[in-house]
């Protein structure tokens, strides 16, 4: 009786799928329980593989943690690059570029709440993030380059673009982190229909108004109708 054989390409695909399941499981567990309270055995169990498999693919828990963060920040960088490529291809005016960048970043965070919880947990516990993760640094550099080159915000003050980026991140980040605290205290329900669309439009409008006078074009004539053009998915 002849038995089917598994060629190298099939083994490679299977290994890649297993590795991705481990990364996904580790991301959720690190976000939910933190680095110290998560073991490689826990990751293996959640990923549906043997307890030894995560160690086989990644070596130590620290190396797995670094791989999780590297993948997360690589996704951020990809989102930034794709958004910038779309706006450059469209020859859009600066205010449209800015609105698109803000919307893309908000959408990324809203669709990756585990990433938000993971980084927030590190900040709250004062745990040191692993050093030398190029995607993390590159994502920030790409975002700054987009702000400086496409919007010209840092023409007279080199720090202005960096402060702008920090403010933008905070506007998008805070409601996700505090969905069960401040938002509910002020009567906002993040699970309500249309909440994300309304919040997204609010952040875009707030940012556009905040940079009025900084863009190399007159945005006063377009900003009053900007929210209407974005729509409200209620």
Domains of the chain with bracketed CATH: 10-59 (1.10.10.60), 66-230 (1.10.357)
Burial of 30 (0-12, 13-18, 19+ CB in 10 A): buried
In tens, the pLDDT along 42-60 reads 999 999 999 999 999 999 9
pLDDT over 80 (residue 173): yes
CA separation for the pair 111, 127 (Å, rounded) = 25
In tens, the pLDDT along 180-214 reads 889 989 999 988 999 999 999 999 888 888 766 55
**Structure confidence at residue 89 (pLDDT):** 80
Reported as a pLDDT band with limits 50, 70 and 90, residue 224 is very low
**Structure confidence at residue 230 (pLDDT):** 40
Contact 72, 24 (CB under 8 A): no
Q: Is the model more confident about 66 or about 234?
A: 66
Residues 6 or more apart from 150 whose CB is under 8 A from it? 84, 87, 88, 94, 97
pLDDT over 50 (residue 121): yes
Angle, to 10 degrees, between the axis of helix 113-125 and the axis of helix 160-177?
100
What does the DSSP 8-state code read for residue 129?
P
pLDDT (average), residues 134-142: 59
**Structure confidence at residue 61 (pLDDT):** 94
Kindly report the backbone phi and psi dihedral angles of residue 4, in degrees, each rounded to the nearest multiple of 5, phi listed first: -65, 145
The rounded mean pLDDT for the chain is: 77
pLDDT (average), residues 73-96: 77
* Nearest Cα to Cα of residue 213 among 140, 146, 149, 155: 155
């Amino acid at each position: 009786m002849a038995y089917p054989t598994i060629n190298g390409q099939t083994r490679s695909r299977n290994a890649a799928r297993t590795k991705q399941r481990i990364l996904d499981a580790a991301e959720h567990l690190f976000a939910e329980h933190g680095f110290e309270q998560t073991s490689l055995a826990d990751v293996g169990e959640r990923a549906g593989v043997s307890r030894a498999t995560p160690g086989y693919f990644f070596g130590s828990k620290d190396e797995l943690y670094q791989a999780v963060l590297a993948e997360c920040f690589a996704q951020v960088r990809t989102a930034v690059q794709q958004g910038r490529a779309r706006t450059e291809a469209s020859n859009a005016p600066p205010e449209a570029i800015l609105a698109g960048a803000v919307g893309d970043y908000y959408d990324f965070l809203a669709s990756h709440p585990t990433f938000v919880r993971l980084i927030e947990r590190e900040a709250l516990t004062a745990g040191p993030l692993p050093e030398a993760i190029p995607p993390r640094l590159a994502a920030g550099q790409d975002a700054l380059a987009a702000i400086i080159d496409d919007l010209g915000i840092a023409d007279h003050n080199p720090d202005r673009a960096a402060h702008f980026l920090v403010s933008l991140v905070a506007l998008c980040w805070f409601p996700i982190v505090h969905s069960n605290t401040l938002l509910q205290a002020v009567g906002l329900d993040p699970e309500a229909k249309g909440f994300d669309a309304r919040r997204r439009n609010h952040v875009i409008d707030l940012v556009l108004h905040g940079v009025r006078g900084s863009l190399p074009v007159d945005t006063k004539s377009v900003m009053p109708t900007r929210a209407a053009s974005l729509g409200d998915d209620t």
